[in-house]
Amino acid sequence: MTLDEIDKIKEEGLRECDAVKTLPELEAVRIKYIGRNGFLPQIMKGLKDVSPDERSEYGRIANEFKNRVGSALDLKKAELAAGGAANGESTFDYSMPGIWRGLGAKHPISSIIEETIRIFGRLGFTVAEGPDVETGYHNFEALNTPAHHPSLDNTDTFWLETGELLRTQTSPVQIRVMEGRKPPVRIITPGRCYRRDTTDATHSANFHQVEGLYVDRNVSLADLKGTLAYFAREMMGPGVDVRFRPHFFPFTEPSVEADFTCHVCGGKGCRVCKNSGWIEIAGAGMVDPRVFKKVGYDSEEFTGYAFGMGIERIAMIKYGINDIRFLYENDARFLQQFV
Ligand code: PHE
pLDDT tens per residue, the chain (339 residues)? 889 999 999 999 999 999 998 889 999 999 999 999 999 999 999 988 899 998 999 999 999 999 999 999 999 998 888 776 666 666 677 888 888 877 778 899 999 999 999 999 999 999 999 999 999 999 999 999 999 999 988 889 999 999 999 999 999 999 999 999 999 999 999 999 999 999 998 899 999 999 999 999 999 999 999 999 999 999 999 989 999 999 999 999 999 999 999 988 888 998 888 899 999 999 999 999 999 999 999 999 999 999 999 999 999 999 989 899 999 998 888 998 988
Region label for 77, one of left (φ > 0), alpha (ψ between -120 and 50) or beta (otherwise): alpha
Same domain assignment for residues 238 and 200: yes
97, part of any domain: no
Cα 118 to chain centroid, rounded: 20
Looking at the structure of the chain, the number of domains it has is 2
- Using a 6 Å cutoff on CB, does residue 214 contact ligand 1? no
| Spatial separation of the C-alpha atoms in residues 202 and 200, rounded to whole Å | 6
Same domain assignment for residues 124 and 250: yes
| Spatial separation of the C-alpha atoms in residues 208 and 324, rounded to whole Å | 12
Ligand 1 atom at shortest distance from the alpha carbon of 171:
1
Comparing CA positions, the residue from 271, 281, 250, 251 lying closest to residue 320 is 271
- Using a 6 Å cutoff on CB, does residue 168 contact ligand 1? no
Indicate the residue type of 308: G
Same domain assignment for residues 45 and 163: no
Same domain assignment for residues 135 and 78: no
- Using a 6 Å cutoff on CB, does residue 191 contact ligand 1? no
Residue whose CA is at the smallest distance from ligand 1 atom 10: 284
Predicted local confidence at residue 88, as pLDDT: 63
Ligand 1 atom at shortest distance from the alpha carbon of 212:
9
**CA 230 to ligand 1 centroid distance, Å:** 19
Ligand 1 atom at shortest distance from the alpha carbon of 168:
4
- Using a 6 Å cutoff on CB, does residue 193 contact ligand 1? no
306 has which bridge partners?
213, 285
- Using a 6 Å cutoff on CB, does residue 244 contact ligand 1? no
**CA 308 to ligand 1 centroid distance, Å:** 4
Same domain assignment for residues 166 and 253: yes
Task: Residue 20: give the domain boundaries.
Answer: 3-86
Same domain assignment for residues 162 and 258: yes
